[in-house]
Amino acid sequence: MKFVIPLLILLLVYLFYPFRDLHVKEDPFSDAYTLVARGFWTEAACVEAAEAQAATDFRCRKRSAWGGMFRAVKEYEKDDRPAP
């Protein structure tokens, strides 16, 4: 029982903690951003990595394991449907 509560807490942190991914705009004439690095714990660390690369146009997007699971399910269901 002593191990269940810390394990549950670690699981919840893993599922819901918002990690950040660094996306950089490489082409000034395109609207697309390229994923450069993943898994930053804080937004400050993400911004620091972008500044180290001398990126002028970048975004630090949040993601979590929980959101990733449901996004994958939605994409799978969308691809599985027959065309109208």
Domain housing 63: 4-79
Domain annotation covers residue 30: yes
How much is the pLDDT for 62? 83
How much is the pLDDT for 72? 54
Domain annotation covers residue 84: no
How much is the pLDDT for 1? 73
Domain annotation covers residue 16: yes
Domain annotation covers residue 72: yes
How much is the pLDDT for 64? 79
Strand-pairing partners, residue 61, are: 21
In tens digits, the chain (84 residues) has pLDDT values of 788 999 999 888 888 888 888 888 887 787 788 888 888 888 888 888 888 888 888 888 888 777 777 665 455 455 444 444
Domain annotation covers residue 62: yes
Domain count for the chain: 1
